[in-house]
Amino acid sequence: MDQSDINNDNLNKINSCDEVNDNLNEINSCDEVDDNLNKINNYDEVDDNLNEINSCDEVDKDVQENILSRAEITKRRPLEMHMIFEAAFEQASKLYTEMKFDH
């Protein structure tokens, strides 16, 4: 084997190493893509969780409005009952007065 054969052989080895390095770079590039996809998936999960939280907030808001609405009804009820009793008492007083003078 003369020197030129040895040089060619070494060049082939170097070229082969360069190809391996190129392939490794491609693999690393794929890993970066995978990392980015994982980040995107994580963002999607965060978005899903935020949507769930927003959905719960809407339910909470509905429940609060329902509670406030019931509180308003409950607050008005005694006043309405008082007015009903007052009207009934007035009606009963009129009837009693009419009956009293009829006799």
Residue 100 lies in a domain: no
Query: How sure is the predictor about 102, in pLDDT bands with cuts at 50, 70 and 90?
Result: low
Would you state the pLDDT for residue 103?
57
Residues 56-67: what's their mean pLDDT?
A: 77
Query: How sure is the predictor about 68, in pLDDT bands with cuts at 50, 70 and 90?
Result: confident
Furthest C-alpha separation in the chain: 150
Buried/exposed code over 16-55 (b: 16+ C-beta within 10 A; e: otherwise): eeeeeeeeeeeeeeeeeeeeeeeeeeeeeeeeeeeeeeee
Residue 95 lies in a domain: no
Residues 59-87: what's their mean pLDDT?
A: 76
Residue 68 lies in a domain: yes
Domain count, the chain: 1
